[in-house]
C-alpha cells in the first residue's frame, strides 16, 4: 500500500517536467539535486552508517564521469554500455584506495581520500588523455529507444529514476544481513566481529558501495553537462557533498535528498536574493552561505532529517513459524573450551598470567576475581578480539589460538560484553538479528535487489524467538539505546543465542538487573545448561554465581588462584584474602 | 512532506517572476569568486559602464557569479535562459567554463559573448559554436606577437614557467606553435599554482636549462612570483610575460623586480600612449577614464575591457536585430546572432573587430601592442 | 640535479615546512582539546599576512572591522547562552569586546602614521589572533557535544564564510609584505634570505614555548588533561569551554604569527590559506593527530618533498606531494595493528 503511494508519487514527479508546467530552470536545479543525492546516498552509507569520513567522493565520481566521456568520445560507445564501465571504474579505484587504508582508523581514511582527491585533480589537469584543464567537451547525449534525452526535462527522468533506484537499493542494503553488519560499524564493531561479521569486510563493502553510487552519479553528470573538466571533481566539491550529507542527517536516506536539495536551493536562491538585500558590488554569497550553514548545523547538529521527521524503527511483521537449521550440540560433558597457560602482556603489565582452565558442554563455569583480575581480558583472548602473548586455546580439542573473532564465532562460541556493544540506533530485534549473521548467506547483491526476503524472514523469526526466550519480546521494535542498561545486557544474550552457540561466554550479565530479572536470567541459564550448552560466566554478584555455577575459577592479578566447586572455593582462605584484603 | 510544500511554494514564486519582455535582457556570468576572481571582479565592475539603452530599447543586466566552476557556469547559463529569458549572455571568464557552456547556448539558441581567450571556444564556428562569439584576442594572436618580439630581440631559446591551469595550458600550446615558426627552441617547461608560496624549484630548473629568455604565463599579481624568484636566484636574461598580467596589482607586487619585462597586451592598457591617429585610442581612453573615475585611479584591468567590448559589439548589432524581431523572442536572439556575425569595423577598447561567419572574434594585429615595464609603469614599445 | 641545487631546494622546503609545521601544531592542539578539525586555520595565516602587508604600507586593514564584527557576534552569542545564569556578563563582555576595543582604535590611529614593521607585525597578530576564540564562541562552543563529523562540517562552513569575507576585504589580487630583514647570508652554495632565518628562529621558539607551556605550567597541563580525557578534566574542575577557548586563542596566535612571518617571502592572496592549510592538515594527520613531534617531522617532510618535486616535475608537484602520503599510510597499515575503536 505504502509502496504503491510512493510509486505514484514518483511517477507524478517524473511526469511533471514533461507536462511543461514546471519552469525549465527548476528542472535544471532538480537535476543538480538529483545527481548530488546519488553521491550523498553513498556518503550516508559510508560516513553516516559506517562512520568513515571521505573527502574523495567527488574524485570517485570523476572516475565515472571521465570513463564515460572517454568511451563515448574516443571509442564512440553507447552511453548505456559506458554506464557499467563508469561504475566499475569508480569501484576499482575505491578498491585500490581501500586496500591501503581501510585497516587503519578512520582519520587515515579521511587523509587518504583527501590526498587522493587533490592529486587526482592535478593529474587530470595535466594528462592529455583527460583533456588537461579544459577537459573533454562534446560528450554525446543519452538516448533511449531513439528518443534523444539531451533536454534537461527528458534527462530529468533518467536522473530521478536513478535517484529512486539508488534510494531503494540503499534502503534494501541497509535493511539486510550485510547492512546490519555495516550499521554495527559505529558502536558495535567488536560485537559484529564476535557474531561472525568482520568489520573490515563491512567497511570495504560500504566504501565500494559509496564508490559505485559516485560512479553512477559521475555518469549522470557527464551526460547532463556533456562536458567534463577537473573542477567538479575536486577536493572542494567532495567537501560540499560531505556537507550535504551532514546537513541532511548523515545516516538517513531521506537526509541525502534533503541535504542535497537545501544546499543547492540555498546556493541558487542566495544568488538571486542577496543582491537585492546588499546592493553594493561585492560578493557576499559565500559569506551568507557559510553563516546559514552554521545556523542550520547549530539548530540540528544531527542533521535536518532527524530534526524534522524524528524517524524511528518501523515495527516489522514476523512469521515465527519459520525456522533455521540448527547445529548439533555435543553431549553433556564433552570438553569444549580449553585455555592452556594463556598469557597476555600489555607492555610491562601482565594482565593474564599462564592461566589454564577448561569448560565442558552442559556446564556453567564461573570466573570470579576482584576488579582488575583480568577476567574481561580472558574473554577477549578466548573470542579472538585480542590475541594472547603466549599459551594455547583449544576448542573441542582443536587448536584455535590466533583465530580471529569471526572464525571463532563460526565454531559456535558466542559472547556478551562487559561494556554493552549494541547499536543504539537499530531496533532491539535488528541488534539480536545481527547474532544470526552466520546463519544467513545473502550477499550484498541479493540484498540490493531484495532477493533475500525468505532468508531475512527466517532470521528475524529466529531473533524474535530468542528475544522471547529472554523475556524482552515486547521491546522488539524499540531503538536499542532506549532500553535500560540491564535490559541491554539481556539483549546481548539474545544476540549471542542467535548464533546457535555451543559455548556461551557472558561478561557480567546480571549487572544492573533487578532481583526478579536476575531470577529470570538464572532460570534461562539453567535451561541452556540443560540443553547442553557450555556457559562461561564472569560475574561480580557472588550470590548469583554461587547458585548457578558448577565450577568456579578464581583469578587474582591475572593468575588463577584456585578452582573448584562453589562451596569449597567459598571456604578457601586465599580467596577470602584476595577479596577482603589481608585478613590475617 | 514539509519539504515538498516548501518546494512547491518556491516553484510558484519562480513562475511568478518570469518576466514580461519589453526590455532587452543581457545575462552575465563571470568568476567573481574562486581562483579567477581577479578576472571576474573588474568584469563585474565594468557592467556599470555598459549602455543602459540601445536604439531606444532599455537594457537590463543580470549578473551572476560562477565561482570559477564550469558546473556553476552552466547552471547560471540555464538560469539566465530559462528563468530570466535573456536575449544574450556575456561570459564566462575562463576557458573550461566557456567550453562547457557552448552546448547549452547552442541547444537553446541564445547568442553568447565569451570573455575567455582560447580560440578553441569559437573554432570552428559551426553547430553550437555558431552561437558563440568572443571579445578577447585569440591567445594565438598574442603568442605570435611574443614570438615575433623574441625573434626580433635575438632570442634563440626560452624556458616556460606557466600557471598549472587552463590559462597556462592554453599559452603552452600556442607558444610552442609560435616558437616553432620562429625557430626558437623551448628548452624547459615549468608549471606552478596561482597560490603557491614558493617557485624556487621551477626557477632553478628553468635557469639551469640556460635559455636566452624566460616566458612567464600567469594572470595578475601571481605572475610576479616567478619574476621575483628569478631575480633572487640571480637570473640576468630577458623575461617576457603574457597579456594576463596587465593590471596595476602586478606592478605593485612585482615592484622593481619586473622592470624591463616585455609583454603583449590589448591597446587599452596603454591607451594614453597610443598615437593620436590610432582609431582605438578614443574608445580605450573613454573606458579607462570612466572605470577609474568610478573605481579609483590605476584600478583599470584589461579583463574588464573585454566585457566593455562585448557591450560595444551589442551596441553595434542590436539596432539591426531590432528591425527584424522583438526582444525576448527566439527570432530576436537569432537575428542578434546574425547581426553580430556581420559586424565589421567595430572599434573596441582592444582593437578593431571585423566579424564574419568564419571568424567570431574578428581581431587583427591592431588588437595587440607590445608593452614593457618602465619605472613601475606600462610603456608602449614601438 | 646537483648537490648545490638540492641544498637550495631543501632549504626552501624547510622554510615552507616550518610554516606547515606551525599549522599542523595548531591543528593538533585544537583537535585534541576540542575535537574540531579547524580547517580555517590556513585562512588565519593568510589574513594575518595580508593585514601585516596592508599596515606596513601605511593603510588601514579592513580586517580590524572583521575582528569587531566577530567580537560583537561572539558577545551576543555569549550573552544569549548565559541568559539563564546572568553571572558571567562582565567576563563575556570583556573577553569578546575587549580585543576589538583595543585593536580597532589603535590601528585607526597608528596605521596612517607608518608605524614601522615591528608595530605592524604586532598589530597584525593582535588583529587576527583574537578572531580564533571569537570563532570558537560563535561556531564551535554551541556544538561542543556534536560528533567530530558535524564539527568538521561546521569548520568547513566557517571557512566558506572566511574566504568570502577575505575576498571582500582584501580583493582578489595578492600582496607581498616588507621583510624584517633584507640581508642574505651566504653559506657555501646557499644564499639564505634573512627572512628564512627569522622563520626558523620564531618557529623553533614557538615550539619550545609550547613544550614548556604544556610540560611545565598548570594551565598547559590542564589543557593536556582535557585533550586526553574531556570528562575527567571536567570532573577535576577544568571547564571544557575554557580549555577550548584557550586552545583556539593559542592556535589563532600561532596562525597570526606564521602569517606575518610568511608575508614577506611570497605573494599572499585571500585564498592562499587553502593549499597551505591542506598541507598542514596532511602533516597533522600523518602525525596521527596526537603527537606534536610527529606532526612537525611530517610537516618538514611535506615541505621538502614539495620543494624537490617542484624542481623535478613541477606540473605534478601536488600529485607527488599528496600521493607520497599513500605509501606512508600503506606502511602504517601493514605494520600497525588494525584499529577497532573509531569515533
Mark whether A28 and A107 lie in a shared domain.
yes
pLDDT by residue for chain A (584 residues), tens only, comes to: 577 888 888 888 888 888 878 888 889 899 999 999 999 999 999 999 998 999 999 999 999 999 999 999 999 999 999 999 999 999 999 998 888 777 777 778 888 888 889 999 999 999 999 988 889 988 998 998 888 898 888 899 999 999 999 999 999 999 999 999 999 998 888 899 999 998 889 999 999 999 999 999 999 999 999 899 999 999 999 999 999 999 999 889 999 999 999 999 998 888 888 877 776 666 788 899 999 999 999 999 999 999 998 877 778 888 888 888 888 888 988 999 999 999 998 877 888 888 999 999 999 999 988 777 788 888 999 999 889 999 999 999 899 998 889 899 999 999 999 888 999 889 999 999 999 999 999 999 999 998 999 999 999 999 999 999 998 999 999 999 899 888 999 999 999 999 999 999 999 898 888 888 899 999 999 999 999 999 999 988 888 888 899 999 988 888 888 888 888 887 888 877 777 665 43
The domain in which residue C9 lies consists of 3-335
Distances (CA, A) of B141 to B118, B242, B288, C137, C203: 10, 11, 23, 55, 48
Using a CB–CB cutoff of 8 Å, tell me whether A263 touches chain C.
Answer: no
Mark yes or no for CB contact A225/B70 under 8 Å: yes
Residue from the list A22, A227, A281 with its beta carbon closest to the beta carbon of B70 = A227
Closest CA relative to residue A156, chosen from A265, A269, A32: A32
Pairing mode of beta strands B132-134, B112-114:
parallel
Residues in chain B closer than 8 A to A32 (CB atoms): 75
Mark whether A168 and A20 lie in a shared domain.
yes
Mark whether A377 and A466 lie in a shared domain.
no
Residue A238 lies in a domain: yes
**Which chains share 3+ C-beta pairs under 8 angstroms with C?**
A, B
SS3 readout for A431-470: HHHHCCHHHCCCCHHHHHCCCCHHHHHHHHHHHHHHHHHC
Using a CB–CB cutoff of 8 Å, tell me whether C150 touches chain A.
Answer: yes
Mark whether A484 and A534 lie in a shared domain.
no
Burial of A503 (0-12, 13-18, 19+ CB in 10 A): buried
Residue from the list A231, A275, A283 with its beta carbon closest to the beta carbon of B33 = A283
Residue C342 lies in a domain: no
- Residue A50 Cα, gap to closest chain C Cα (Å): 10
Q: What is the pLDDT of residues B243-280, one digit of tens each?
A: 999 889 999 999 999 999 999 999 999 999 999 999 99
Q: What is the C-alpha to C-alpha distance for residues B331 and A24, in angstroms, rounded to an integer?
A: 20
| Cell numbers describing residue C73 | 557576534
Residues in chain B closer than 8 A to C178 (CB atoms): none
Taking chain C (343 residues) in runs of 10, the rounded mean pLDDT of each run is 85 92 91 90 96 92 95 91 76 88 93 89 96 96 90 94 92 86 77 85 90 84 78 72 90 95 91 90 78 85 94 92 85 61 38
- Predicted local confidence at residue A280, as pLDDT: 66
Q: What is the pLDDT of residues C101-110, one digit of tens each?
A: 999 999 999 9
Is B24-137+300-367 a domain of CATH 3.40.640.10?
no
Q: Would the CA dihedral through C17, C20, C24, C26 be positive or negative?
A: positive
Q: Is the pLDDT of residue B5 over 80?
A: no
Three-class DSSP category at B378: strand
- Residue C238 Cα, gap to closest chain B Cα (Å): 40
Mark whether A101 and A219 lie in a shared domain.
yes
**Which chains share 3+ C-beta pairs under 8 angstroms with B?**
A, C
Residues in chain C closer than 8 A to B193 (CB atoms): 275, 317-318
Residue from the list A103, A112, A294 with its beta carbon closest to the beta carbon of C338 = A103
**Which chains share 3+ C-beta pairs under 8 angstroms with A?**
B, C
- Residue C75 Cα, gap to closest chain B Cα (Å): 30
Extract the runs of DSSP E, i.e. beta strands, from A111-260: 143-144, 147-148
Mark whether A477 and A553 lie in a shared domain.
no
Mark yes or no for CB contact B164/C315 under 8 Å: yes
Mark whether A44 and A65 lie in a shared domain.
yes
Mark whether A436 and A405 lie in a shared domain.
no
Using a CB–CB cutoff of 8 Å, tell me whether A151 touches chain B.
Answer: yes
- Predicted local confidence at residue B370, as pLDDT: 96
Those residues whose C-beta lies under 8 Å from the C-beta of residue C325, and which sit 6 or more positions away, are A111, A112, A115, C282, C286
Q: What is the C-alpha to C-alpha distance for residues C257 and C122, in angstroms, rounded to an integer?
A: 9
- Residue A72 Cα, gap to closest chain B Cα (Å): 16
Residue C343 lies in a domain: no
Please answer whether residues A489 and A509 qualify as being in contact, where contact means their C-beta atoms are separated by less than 8 angstroms.
yes
Residue A111 lies in a domain: yes
Q: What is the pLDDT of residues C9-28, one digit of tens each?
A: 999 999 999 999 999 999 98
Residues in chain B closer than 8 A to A156 (CB atoms): none
Residue C136 lies in a domain: yes
Residue from the list B41, B201, B221 with its beta carbon closest to the beta carbon of C9 = B201
Q: What is the C-alpha to C-alpha distance for residues A72 and A68, in angstroms, rounded to an integer?
A: 6
Chain A residue with CA closest to C73: the answer is A291
- Predicted local confidence at residue B29, as pLDDT: 96
Extract the runs of DSSP E, i.e. beta strands, from A30-184: 143-144, 147-148
Residue C95 lies in a domain: yes
State the DSSP string of B6-33: HHHHHHHHHHHHPPP-SSEEEEEEE-SS
> What is the total count of domains within chain A?
3
Residue C142 lies in a domain: yes
- Residue B34 Cα, gap to closest chain C Cα (Å): 8
- Predicted local confidence at residue B325, as pLDDT: 92
Chain C residue with CA closest to A99: the answer is C330
Using a CB–CB cutoff of 8 Å, tell me whether A62 touches chain B.
Answer: no
Alpha helices, DSSP H, located in C189-272: 194-216, 218-228, 230-235, 240-262
CATH topology match: B24-137+300-367 vs B139-265: yes
Longest dimension (CA), chain B: 74
Mark yes or no for CB contact A269/B10 under 8 Å: yes
DSSP state of B114: E
Q: What is the C-alpha to C-alpha distance for residues A429 and A459, in angstroms, rounded to an integer?
A: 10
Mark yes or no for CB contact C323/A247 under 8 Å: no
CB proximity under 8 Å: A 155-184 to C: none
Using a CB–CB cutoff of 8 Å, tell me whether A397 touches chain C.
Answer: no
Residues in chain C closer than 8 A to A115 (CB atoms): 282, 322-323, 325-326
The torsion angles phi and psi of A582, rounded to 5 degrees, stand at -65, 100
Residue C113 lies in a domain: yes
Mark yes or no for CB contact C159/A118 under 8 Å: no
Q: Which CATH number does the domain housing residue A526 bear? A: 3.40.50.300
- Predicted local confidence at residue B16, as pLDDT: 45
ipTM computed for the complex: 0.91
Backbone Cα Rg of chain A: 28
- Predicted local confidence at residue A282, as pLDDT: 65
- Residue A23 Cα, gap to closest chain B Cα (Å): 6
Using a CB–CB cutoff of 8 Å, tell me whether A33 touches chain B.
Answer: no
Mark whether A386 and A524 lie in a shared domain.
yes
Residue from the list C142, C322, C341 with its beta carbon closest to the beta carbon of A298 = C142
DSSP state of C266: S
Q: CA A276 from chain center: how many Å?
A: 46
Alpha helices, DSSP H, located in A47-78: 57-73
- Predicted local confidence at residue B21, as pLDDT: 47
Residue A279 lies in a domain: no
The CATH number of the domain covering residues in B139-265 = 3.40.50.2300
Please answer whether residues A283 and B65 qualify as being in contact, where contact means their C-beta atoms are separated by less than 8 angstroms.
yes
Mark whether A488 and A523 lie in a shared domain.
no
Pairing mode of beta strands B185-192, B157-163:
parallel
- Residue A250 Cα, gap to closest chain B Cα (Å): 18
Mark yes or no for CB contact B71/A132 under 8 Å: no
Mark yes or no for CB contact C311/B201 under 8 Å: yes
Closest CA relative to residue C9, chosen from C276, C189, C197: C189
Mark whether A259 and A376 lie in a shared domain.
no
- Predicted local confidence at residue A1, as pLDDT: 54
Please answer whether residues A271 and A287 qualify as being in contact, where contact means their C-beta atoms are separated by less than 8 angstroms.
no
Mark yes or no for CB contact B103/A227 under 8 Å: yes
Question: What residues does each domain of chain B span?
Answer: 24-137+300-367, 139-265
Using a CB–CB cutoff of 8 Å, tell me whether A202 touches chain C.
Answer: no
More confident residue, A580 or B70: B70
> What is the total count of domains within chain C?
1
Domain boundary residue, one of A265, A288, A311: A265
Residues of B near A (Cβ–Cβ under 8 Å) read: 2-3, 7, 10-11, 14-15, 18, 32-33, 44-45, 48, 63-65, 67-71, 74-75, 78-79, 81-83, 95-96, 99-100, 102-103, 107, 118, 120, 164-166, 168-170, 191
- Predicted local confidence at residue A555, as pLDDT: 86
Mark yes or no for CB contact B220/C173 under 8 Å: yes
The domain in which residue A114 lies consists of 16-265
Residue from the list B32, B100, B170 with its beta carbon closest to the beta carbon of A283 = B32
Residues in chain B closer than 8 A to C199 (CB atoms): none
Mark whether A403 and A479 lie in a shared domain.
no
Average pLDDT over residues B24-35: 93
Residue from the list C168, C326, C342 with its beta carbon closest to the beta carbon of A105 = C342
Residue A533 lies in a domain: yes
- Predicted local confidence at residue A57, as pLDDT: 95
- Predicted local confidence at residue B15, as pLDDT: 47
Mark yes or no for CB contact C160/A286 under 8 Å: yes
Residue A308 lies in a domain: no
- Residue C177 Cα, gap to closest chain A Cα (Å): 25
Q: What is the C-alpha to C-alpha distance for residues B244 and B219, in angstroms, rounded to an integer?
A: 4
- Residue A118 Cα, gap to closest chain B Cα (Å): 13
Amino acid at each position: 500500500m505504502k509502496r504503491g503511494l510512493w510509486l505514484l508519487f514518483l511517477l507524478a514527479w517524473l511526469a511533471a517536467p514533461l507536462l511543461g508546467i514546471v519552469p525549465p530552470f527548476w528542472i535544471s536545479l532538480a537535476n543538480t539535486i538529483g545527481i548530488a543525492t546519488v553521491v550523498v546516498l553513498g556518503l550516508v552509507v559510508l560516513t553516516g552508517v559506517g562512520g568513515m569520513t571521505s573527502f574523495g567522493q567527488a574524485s570517485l565520481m570523476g572516475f565515472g564521469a571521465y570513463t564515460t566521456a572517454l568511451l563515448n568520445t574516443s571509442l564512440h560507445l553507447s552511453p548505456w554500455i559506458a554506464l557499467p564501465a563508469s561504475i566499475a571504474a569508480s569501484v576499482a579505484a575505491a578498491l585500490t584506495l581501500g586496500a591501503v587504508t581501510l585497516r587503519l582508523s578512520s582519520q587515515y581514511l579521511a587523509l587518504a581520500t583527501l590526498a587522493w582527491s587533490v592529486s587526482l585533480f592535478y593529474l587530470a589537469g595535466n594528462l592529455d588523455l583527460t583533456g588537461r584543464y579544459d577537459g573533454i567537451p562534446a560528450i554525446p547525449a543519452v538516448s533511449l529507444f531513439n528518443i534523444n534525452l539531451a533536454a534537461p526535462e527528458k534527462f530529468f527522468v533518467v536522473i530521478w529514476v536513478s535517484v529512486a533506484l539508488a534510494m531503494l537499493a540503499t534502503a534494501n542494503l541497509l535493511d539486510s544481513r550485510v547492512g546490519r553488519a555495516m550499521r554495527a560499524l559505529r558502536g558495535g564493531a567488536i560485537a559484529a566481529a564476535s557474531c561472525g561479521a568482520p568489520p573490515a569486510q563491512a567497511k570495504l563493502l560500504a566504501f565500494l558501495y559509496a564508490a559505485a553510487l559516485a560512479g553512477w552519479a559521475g555518469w549522470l553528470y557527464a551526460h547532463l553537462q556533456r562536458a567534463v573538466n577537473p573542477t567538479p571533481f575536486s577536493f572542494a566539491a567532495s567537501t560540499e557533498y560531505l556537507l550535504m550529507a551532514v546537513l541532511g542527517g548523515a545516516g538517513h536516506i531521506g537526509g541525502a535528498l534533503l541535504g542535497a536539495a537545501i544546499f543547492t536551493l540555498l546556493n541558487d536562491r542566495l544568488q538571486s536574493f542577496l543582491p537585492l538585500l546588499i546592493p553594493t558590488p561585492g560578493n557576499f554569497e559565500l559569506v551568507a552561505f557559510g553563516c546559514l550553514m552554521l545556523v542550520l548545523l547549530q539548530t540540528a547538529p544531527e542533521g535536518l532529517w532527524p530534526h524534522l521527521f524524528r524517524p524511528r524503527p518501523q515495527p516489522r511483521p514476523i512469521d515465527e513459524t519459520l525456522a533455521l537449521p540448527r547445529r548439533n550440540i555435543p553431549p553433556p560433558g564433552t570438553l569444549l573450551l580449553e585455555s592452556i597457560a594463556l598469557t597476555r602482556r600489555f607492555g610491562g603489565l601482565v594482565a593474564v598470567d599462564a592461566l589454564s582452565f577448561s569448560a565442558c558442554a552442559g556446564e556453567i563455569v564461573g570466573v570470579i576475581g576482584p576488579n582488575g583480575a583480568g577476567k574481561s581480558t580472558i574473554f577477549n583472548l578466548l573470542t579472538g578480539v585480542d590475541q594472547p602473548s603466549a599459551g594455547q586455546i583449544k576448542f573441542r580439542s582443536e587448536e584455535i589460538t590466533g583465530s580471529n573473532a569471526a572464525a571463532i564465532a563460526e565454531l559456535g562460541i558466542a559472547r556478551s560484553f562487559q561494556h554493552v556493544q549494541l547499536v543504539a540506533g537499530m531496533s532491539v530485534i535488528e541488534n539480536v538479528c545481527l547474532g544470526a549473521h552466520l546463519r544467513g548467506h545473502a550477499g550484498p547483491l541479493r540484498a540490493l535487489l531484495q532477493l533475500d526476503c525468505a532468508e531475512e524472514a527466517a532470521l528475524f523469526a529466529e531473533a524474535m524467538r530468542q528475544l522471547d526466550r529472554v523475556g524482552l519480546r515486547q521491546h522488539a521494535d524499540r531503538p536499542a539505546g532506549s532500553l535500560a542498561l540491564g535490559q541491554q545486557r539481556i539483549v546481548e544474550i539474545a544476540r549471542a543465542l542467535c548464533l546457535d552457540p555451543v559455548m556461551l561466554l557472558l561478561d557480567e550479565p546480571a549487572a544492573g538487573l533487578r532481583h526478579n530479572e536476575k531470577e529470570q536470567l538464572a532460570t534461562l541459564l539453567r535451561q541452556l545448561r540443560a540443553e547442553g550448552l557450555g556457559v562461561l560466566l564472569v560475574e561480580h554478584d557472588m550470590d548469583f554465581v554461587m547458585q548457578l555455577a558448577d565450577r568456579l575459577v578464581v583469578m587474582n592479578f591475572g593468575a588463577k588462584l584456585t578452582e573448584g566447586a562453589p562451596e569449597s572455593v567459598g571456604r578457601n582462605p586465599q580467596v577470602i584474602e584476595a577479596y577482603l584484603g589481608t585478613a590475617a | 512532506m514539509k519539504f515538498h510544500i516548501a518546494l512547491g511554494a518556491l516553484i510558484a514564486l519562480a513562475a511568478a517572476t518570469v518576466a514580461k519582455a519589453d526590455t532587452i535582457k543581457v545575462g552575465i556570468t563571470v568568476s567573481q569568486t574562486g581562483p579567477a576572481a581577479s578576472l571576474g571582479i573588474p568584469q563585474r565592475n565594468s557592467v556599470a559602464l555598459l549602455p543602459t539603452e540601445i536604439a531606444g530599447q532599455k537594457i537590463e543586466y543580470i549578473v551572476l557569479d560562477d565561482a570559477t566552476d564550469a558546473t556553476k557556469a552552466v547552471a547560471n547559463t540555464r538560469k539566465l535562459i530559462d528563468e530570466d529569458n535573456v536575449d544574450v549572455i556575456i561570459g564566462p571568464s575562463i576557458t573550461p567554463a566557456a567550453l562547457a557552456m557552448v552546448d547549452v547556448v547552442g541547444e537553446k539558441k541564445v547568442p553568447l559573448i565569451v570573455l575567455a581567450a582560447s580560440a578553441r571556444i569559437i573554432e570552428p564556428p559551426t553547430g553550437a559554436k555558431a552561437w558563440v562569439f568572443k571579445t578577447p584576442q585569440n591567445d594565438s594572436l598574442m603568442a605570435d606577437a611574443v614570438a615575433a618580439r623574441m625573434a626580433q630581440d635575438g632570442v634563440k631559446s626560452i624556458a616556460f614557467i606557466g600557471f598549472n591551469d587552463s590559462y597556462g595550458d592554453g599559452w603552452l600550446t600556442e607558444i610552442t606553435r609560435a616558437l616553432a615558426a620562429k625557430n626558437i627552441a623551448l628548452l624547459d617547461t615549468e608549471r606552478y599554482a596561482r597560490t603557491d608560496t614558493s617557485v624556487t624549484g621551477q626557477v632553478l630548473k628553468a635557469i639551469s636549462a640556460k635559455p636566452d629568455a624566460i616566458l612567464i604565463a600567469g594572470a595578475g599579481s601571481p605572475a610576479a612570483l616567478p619574476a621575483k624568484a628569478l631575480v633572487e636566484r640571480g637570473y640576468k636574461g630577458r623575461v617576457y610575460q603574457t597579456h594576463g598580467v596587465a593590471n596595476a596589482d602586478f606592478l605593485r607586487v612585482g615592484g622593481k623586480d619586473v622592470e624591463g619585462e616585455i609583454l603583449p597586451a590589448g591597446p587599452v592598457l596603454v591607451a594614453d600612449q597610443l598615437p593620436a591617429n590610432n582609431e582605438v585610442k578614443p574608445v580605450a581612453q573613454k573606458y579607462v577614464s570612466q572605470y577609474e573615475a568610478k573605481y579609483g585611479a590605476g584600478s583599470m584591468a584589461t579583463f574588464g575591457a573585454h566585457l566593455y567590448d562585448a557591450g560595444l559589439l551589442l551596441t553595434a548589432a542590436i539596432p539591426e536585430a531590432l528591425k527584424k524581431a522583438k526582444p525576448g523572442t527566439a527570432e530576436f536572439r537569432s537575428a542578434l546572432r546574425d547581426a553580430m556575425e556581420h559586424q565589421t569595423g567595430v572599434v573596441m577598447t582592444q582593437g578593431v573587430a571585423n566579424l564574419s561567419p568564419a571568424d567570431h572574434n574578428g581581431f587583427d594585429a591592431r588588437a595587440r601592442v607590445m608593452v614593457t615595464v618602465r619605472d613601475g609603469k606600462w610603456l608602449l614599445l614601438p | 640535479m646537483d648537490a648545490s641545487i638540492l641544498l637550495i631546494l631543501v632549504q626552501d622546503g624547510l622554510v615552507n615546512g616550518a610554516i606547515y609545521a606551525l599549522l599542523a601544531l595548531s591543528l593538533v592542539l585544537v583537535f585534541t582539546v576540542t575535537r574540531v578539525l579547524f580547517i580555517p586555520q590556513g585562512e588565519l595565516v593568510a589574513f594575518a599576512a595580508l593585514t601585516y602587508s596592508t599596515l606596513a604600507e601605511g593603510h588601514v586593514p579592513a580586517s580590524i572591522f572583521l575582528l569587531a564584527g566577530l567580537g560583537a557576534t561572539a558577545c551576543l552569542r555569549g550573552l544569549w547562552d548565559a541568559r539563564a545564569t546572568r553571572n558571567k556578563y562582565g567576563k563575556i563582555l570583556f573577553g569578546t569586546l575587549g580585543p576589538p576595543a583595543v585593536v580597532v582604535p589603535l590601528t585607526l590611529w597608528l596605521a596612517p602614521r607608518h608605524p614601522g614593521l615591528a608595530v605592524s607585525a604586532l598589530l597584525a597578530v593582535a588583529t587576527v589572533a583574537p578572531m580564533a576564540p571569537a570563532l570558537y564562541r560563535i561556531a564551535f562552543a554551541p556544538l561542543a557535544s556534536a560528533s567530530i563529523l558535524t564539527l568538521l562540517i561546521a569548520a568547513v562552513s566557517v571557512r566558506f564564510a572566511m574566504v568570502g569575507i577575505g575576498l571582500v576585504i582584501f580583493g582578489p589580487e595578492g600582496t607581498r609584505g616588507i621583510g624584517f630583514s633584507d640581508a642574505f647570508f651566504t653559506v657555501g652554495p646557499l644564499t639564505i634570505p634573512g627572512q628564512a632565518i627569522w622563520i626558523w628562529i620564531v618557529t623553533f621558539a614557538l615550539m619550545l614555548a609550547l613544550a614548556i607551556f604544556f610540560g611545565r605550567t598548570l594551565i598547559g597541563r590542564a589543557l593536556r588533561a582535557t585533550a586526553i580525557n574531556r570528562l575527567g578534566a571536567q570532573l577535576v574542575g577544568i571547564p571544557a569551554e575554557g580549555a577550548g577557548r584557550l586552545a583556539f586563542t593559542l592556535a589563532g596566535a600561532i596562525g597570526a604569527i606564521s602569517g606575518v612571518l610568511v608575508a614577506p617571502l611570497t605573494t599572499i592572496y585571500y585564498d592562499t590559506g587553502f593549499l597551505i592549510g591542506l598541507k598542514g592538515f596532511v602533516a597533522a594527520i600523518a602525525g596521527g593527530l596526537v603527537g606534536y613531534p610527529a606532526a612537525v617531522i611530517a610537516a618538514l617532510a611535506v615541505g621538502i618533498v614539495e620543494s624537490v618535486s617542484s624542481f623535478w616535475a613541477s606540473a605534478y608537484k601536488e600529485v607527488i606531494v599528496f600521493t607520497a602520503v599513500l605509501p606512508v599510510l600503506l606502511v602504517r597499515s601493514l605494520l600497525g595493528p588494525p584499529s577497532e575503536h573509531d569515533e
